[in-house]
Amino acid sequence: MKRVTVSAPGKLHLSGEHAVVHGKPALVVAVGKRLYVTLTQNPEPRTQNPIVNLKTKKDYLSTIIHLIEKKYQVSFTDFSLEITSDIPVGAGMGSSAALVVATIGALIIYLGKPWNPQEINELAFQAEKFQHGNASGSDPTVITHGGLLWYRKELEFLKTFWLLPFKIPKSFTPFVLVDTGRTESTKDLVVGVVGKKKTQNPGAFELLIAKIEQVTRTITQAIHDEKEVDFRKLVTINERLLEQLGVVSNSTQKFIRDIENSGGAAKISGAGGVKTGSGIVLAVHDDPQKLMALAKKYKHPSFQVTLGGEGVRREQVVV
Ligand code: MEV
């Protein structure tokens, strides 16, 4: 019986989220949390939709399956699909993109097609565009390729990335990730909040994303040069620019000010959120325990992750 398992990591935007949708660079990193997709051939071919075991994201998965059917001129009828994941959902850590990338990888193997990460990434980008309207492609790219990436979408058909030949320095105090929760979708934030801001005042918007680009550049330099003090200052500047973009809720701003007042630095990472929480907050402090205690006070889950994880990976193939 055919059985294929493919996994994909989550990600963090260290800088450049939202600006990357509008042609600016982003610095993104794959993390040590992963999502696993297993496709199992059913002994008895069924005629209904092959998706079982899925309580959420059903429409999204149908889109992915149809995309592959169209691309390879095939029709799937005979498999079950199971998902397990330890990537927080809807928090800006790429759980959706990991689902797309791993599912596409698994479907491609299932069909006996060659393993081609570039192709997986391109198909995942098409699916993501369907999901949130105006995607940059930075999520599927870092999730496919892993590591620490400098990414930029120049044009719809011209997306470039550079796998940086260095890591987040071991000398940096490990980041703490705090999940502040979120209610809006990425599409609401990318199209609704930020898209509107651009339409309302294009000049001011250009100025703001140019400042974000500058921060992305200098933050990359600080990581390269192992300058943690500079890195932390830039995290704070980055957070202020994201607040000006309008993607950080009042309650998350208050939480981040408390972190800053206790001697740390923090920023949202990913799409953010306005109504309640803002997804994952990436925080640094000389004493990570202080951050965790503060997160507890706000009743936000906190955790640590390894950075620079491997991209999409074949876990098990039984044919
Ligand atoms: C979402 O993880 C990152 C955004 O920049 C959207 C995108 O790049 O497509 C908000």
Phi, psi of 147 (to 5 degrees): 75, -155
State in Å: Cα 45 to ligand 1 middle: 38
pLDDT reading at 54 higher than 50? no
Kindly indicate the confidence band of residue 51, based on its pLDDT and cuts at 50, 70 and 90: very low
Taking the C-alpha atoms of residue 92 and residue 232, their distance in angstroms, rounded to an integer, is: 20
Q: What's the 75 CA to ligand 1 centre distance in angstroms?
A: 31
Q: Do domains 3-167+308-318 and 175-305 have the same CATH topology?
A: no
131 CB under 6 A from ligand 1?
no
Measure CA 103 to chain center. Answer: 16
Q: Is the CB of 182 under 6 A from ligand 1?
A: no
Name the residue ranges covered by the structural domains of the chain.
3-167+308-318, 175-305
Whether 137 has a pLDDT exceeding 80, the answer reads yes
Architecture of domain 3-167+308-318: 2-Layer Sandwich (3.30)
At 293, list the tokens.
């205690």
Does 139 contact ligand 1 (Cβ within 6 A)? Answer: yes
| Whole-number Å distance between alpha carbons of 40 and 183 | 33
Per-residue pLDDT at 59: 76
Residues 93-128: tens digit of each pLDDT = 999 999 999 999 999 999 999 999 999 999 999 998
What are 3's two structure tokens?
């059985």
Query: Counting atoms of ligand 1 from 1, which one is nearest the CA of 272?
Result: 10
CATH architecture observed for domain 175-305: 2-Layer Sandwich (3.30)
Average pLDDT (26-40) is 97
Full-model pTM: 0.94
d(Cα 186, Cα 153) in Å, to the nearest integer? 18
